[in-house]
Structure 1
């Protein structure tokens, strides 16, 4: 399973067509679809993930002699995967890559984050949830001394705090070792010749045993749960000190035993990232496994249980807001426990070393900085943060739905990996949810035989689990309102962390899986939120480094119909990566509407129901996607017909779009696109920086002569570089080759397509790169 701050990675049906040969490839996702870590990336917009349908145009690139007769060099270059070069010493990191800004960056984090934790605690406790600031006339030094005194008085690491923290620590260690569980095998470790380590999973029993004991101690008066709230400052100090102490022991112990792995030779950086990959005790207690679930998430839950106990004692009830956090933190800790066997295949277990980053974060960072939503509610009267009951009900329902997506997403990925290795064990733990396991999932196979999952939720968005984690984080802040910044620390911090994580993972997966990962990106173009988009991608045999311009192809009111799909495929066949978004994804699925009266009414209704900003966002996201592809030259154009012609025009308002061809664009002259029927397309004409072609039929009854004249005059007055064509005898939709009611004219269509190719060829340009030197054998295909 995955948790906020501990994240992983990993869609659509693919149809490939080729001028000479084609090969269908269905596969899975990377370790990204396997890993679980912290942090990650996206485009800085509302959506960044998607459901897609892809078509590869031109000839499929040859993979083996058997499939297409290409001769393939057998020379194998050593690969550096996950910092280890095949055949070299696993104790050395050969990647030359440093995370977090290297030694200086990690040093600043090790110093800065504990200070930030104290600063937020002071603000939450002594400044009513506000930022601590120097009082009028107070010098900086005096203010710092004041803060230090507050820490000394309110957060001194007392014997009581040490006892509470380490008794809990040792108790959880005993539960790990002594309570019932199952043993599952981890991922093969390449540097150990594919050896798999056993992992003992007893977190389910540990979790419920811990809760039962905590409630018993509370109700018997031996240890009131709200003591955690009362002693929070002292417990935080103990956790911070413990994080440093355990990190030192882990690092120097590994060096003393010669157990170091992937060391860079920079002591500060290596201390932060860790020295040992798989630290263990008694042959059963895996420290990374132990620290990953039981310490951070159980402590977070107990802090919230303490807040609920305090609120009940003071007010006689538990507010809906505290109840919401209790539900959220219980579900999260429970999910990590019930899915503990899934953690063994994740990035933290497989790749990350046991260093300050993991140790401090699990002992102190996660449980005692992510909990400021709870601390704020515990320190304030429920009347001061009370939400409307209907909105609160909505939050509960929405949270439970997203939890289902999150739980099943992680289950699909990890169970697939277990099925692949024959290590899957079914556990009847709570809750069992539908769609946790995929049957015969689609995958992509890399050259080394590893597979990438492209099915289930990972066929809809590459990091949809990140979306869910971010949703959780935002709700933890939202439930407290907006009077204090500290509950919002975790959502902001997590968004930054998740962005870094995604970048890190994408880079690693592109290096590890090569062309297979690029194919996954083509099939599932977005990162976070599913948006239906069809992608048509060319490949040219002999040119593995070919880079293609991108073209956004906008559809008519019927979405991506057969004519639109064929139009996009035809453009792709000339060496362009085409992305065709499903225009009405807010209202319906990606399937095209029918060319009949009923669906025509639907399309026209949705056309003026969708917001103008949403149209523009779709266009911008398509441009973002094309530019993100390693196979894209970085130059993008746009085209479309009917409604799509107008959308291509609006896409050209984006300065990144170098050229646009608009076929019989509707509603520009009347300003009636989108909700409110008052678009600003003509008013913003001067924003078009690329070259434009406008094509109309003189008999087009959707855009009358005066409308075309207005468009032409406005473009001229605004100084737009454009060509304007009116075909004498053509009607509206004259390039649509299906059910056009006699309006389709193939001869005019061909001429207009040549206009498009001339403009795109001149402004966008293809970059084939070097030929790979392979010779094609002549095959008798008859």
Structure 2
């Protein structure tokens, strides 16, 4: 018991304003996912709907039992849970290397099966064959059953959050340092157990890369098929704006899954527990919020032209270059490689902090690349509505929060060395701006 207590001390510091904030986010995230549909869809009357009727329509809907029943779709729920089962089966059946993660504070290591990219290729192969055989109209069901799929993904998120919270009390589990407060609401949201598993399946890393990210691509494909059907039924009629969104977001997913081992050093994997925050983020928020631009273009079709297309492609390419080059420098350095002879600060802990290259420009240059890509994904939707720009606004808030969490942890870890480092690298994310 003494060993367990020393390994799993009580959480003394709350994030997100503690239990009240955790409760509000737990309720607010699903409401936001639904809200983005009801403020940006044909069914609601536009993107956004007419403001003079918005409040009255909302009150009328909330008092209509039929409106609440419309949030549930049995067929969509069966399809979603079947999709999740397929991804689990692919993880189990497809070959993949087993890779060790970072060493845990109990001295052990977690092992992860690396085959997310193979799962994506299998999924895209099946999807492509299905569309070629039955036509684009056969793959518009995600657009048509959007609300049902959202509800199913939230249900799955709740079930996994409850399961992981309950199972964290069974046996001697290694808990997340930030999720052991003793408050049910807060620990359920943050995640109590660091690495919940079922057999050899690590639930956290699995959800982080597979079901939500791959579904995001499938949703974009469904939105492109919906647009193709409306424009004559041929895939050749899809607009350049839709192709850009599909290409950018699919490439991001492909790159993430191809570089799957890189995720094993992120805070989500090494530090955070797996609770409702990550489950709803991975399973519901990512696929159904990040695909907003494609869903908008399904019912608001327009061509960008070669000039705008080239400009947006250039911006996305710049963001990707910064993101990938900076992460490459960091991963090489962490693995004991320094091909560019980058400068660094030697800390008293024995570790080294990069102070040149991309990491000399700012402490989080990869975040800057991420933000540029996020803006590029939204530009194909034009400027007729601010709602399609929700993603980069939200993402900026998320990245700033992550940056502050990371730097607070580094301040405790490195002490005076961290102060020296921040004097050498003064900008947090964007040089000369922040």
Question: What TM-score results when the alignment is normalised by the length of structure 2?
Answer: 0.90
* Structure with the larger strand share: 1
Which of 500, 506, 510 lines up with 2:411 in the alignment? 510
1:327 paired residue number: 247
- Residues in 2 aligned to 1:181 and 1:347: alpha-carbon distance in whole angstroms: 24
Aligned partner (choices 82, 96, 119) of residue 206 of structure 1? 119
User: Helix, strand or coil: the match of 1:187?
Assistant: strand
Once the 2 structures are TM-superposed, how far is the Cα of residue 336 of structure 1 from its aligned partner? 1.0
Per the alignment, residue 191 of structure 2 pairs with: 274
Deviations 1:356-401 (A, max 9, x none): 1111110101111122111111122x23xx3343022111122123
The yes-or-no answer on 1:144 pairing with 2:57 is: no
1:461–1:91 Cα change, 3 Å:
same
**Which runs of no fewer than 5 residues in structure 2 stay unpaired?**
none
Shift of 1:145: 2.3
Task: Assess, with a 3 A threshold, how the Cα gap between structure 1 residues 137 and 165 changes in structure 2: closer, same or farther.
Answer: closer
Q: 1:179 to 1:136 in 2, by over 3 A?
A: closer
- What is the DSSP-based 3-state SS (H/G/I as helix, E as strand, rest coil) of the residue aligned with 2:8? coil
Q: Are the structure 2 counterparts of residues 179 and 454 from structure 1 closer, same or farther at C-alpha, using a change threshold of 3 Å?
A: farther
What is the 5 A alignment of 1:60-99? 89-94=6-11, 96-99=12-15
2:202 to 241, 261, 286: 286
Alignment of 1:342-361 (within 5 A): 342-361=262-281
Match of 1:394 in 2: 311
**Partner of residue 364 from structure 2, selected from 463, 471, 479:** 463
Post-superposition offset of 1:455: 3.8
- TM superposition score normalised by structure 1: 0.51
* Matching of residue 300 in structure 1 with residue 216 in structure 2: yes
Cα distance change, pair 202–264 in 1 and its aligned pair in 2 (3 A): same
Which structure has the bigger radius of gyration? 1
Matched, 1:405 2:322: yes
Matches for 1:565-604 after TM superposition, within 5 Å: none
User: What do residues 653-706 of structure 1 show as CA deviations (whole Å, max 9, x unaligned)?
Assistant: xxxxxxxxxxxxxxxxxxxxxxxxxxxxxxxxxxxxxxxxxxxxxxxxxxxxxx
Distance 2:369 2:38 in 1: 31
Cα distance in 2 for partners of 1:145, 1:357 equals 30
Pair 1:465–1:227, CA change in 2 (3 A): same
1:371–1:487 contact (8 Å) kept in structure 2: no
Q: CA deviation at 1:166?
A: 1.5
Give 1:530 shift: 3.8
Structure 1 runs not aligned, ≥5 long: 1-85, 421-436, 532-620, 625-782
Q: CA deviation at 1:440?
A: 4.7
For residues 55 and 37 of structure 2, the distance between their equivalents in structure 1, rounded to whole angstroms, comes to 24
Aligned CA distance change for structure 1 residues 265 and 522 (closer, same or farther; 3 Å)? same
Q: Distance in 2 between matches of 1:323 and 1:394?
A: 15
Q: What is the SS of the residue equivalent to 1:479?
A: helix
Q: Which residue of 1 aligns with 2:34?
A: 118
What RMSD in Å do the two structures reach over aligned CA positions?
2.4
Find out whether 1:485 has 2:386 as its counterpart: yes
Distance 1:229 1:260 in 2: 41
Q: What residue number does 1:103 align with?
A: 19
Q: Distance in 2 between matches of 1:362 and 1:266?
A: 23
SS of 1:135's equivalent in the other structure is helix
**Relative to structure 1, is the Cα distance of residues 184 and 451 closer, same or farther in structure 2, using a 3 angstrom cutoff?**
farther
Q: Which residue of 2 aligns with 1:476?
A: 377
CA distance 1:444–1:131, change in 2 (3 Å): farther
Whether 1:363 and 2:283 are equivalent positions in the alignment is: yes
2: distance between equivalents of 1:132 and 1:297? Answer: 33
Q: Deviations over 1:85-116 (max 9, x none)?
A: x996222234x211111000010111122112
In the alignment of these two chains, the number of paired residues is: 422
CA distances 1:423-451 after superposition (whole Å, capped 9, x unpaired): xxxxxxxxxxxxxx745543322222122
Aligned counterparts of 1:225 and 1:418: Cα–Cα separation in 2: 44
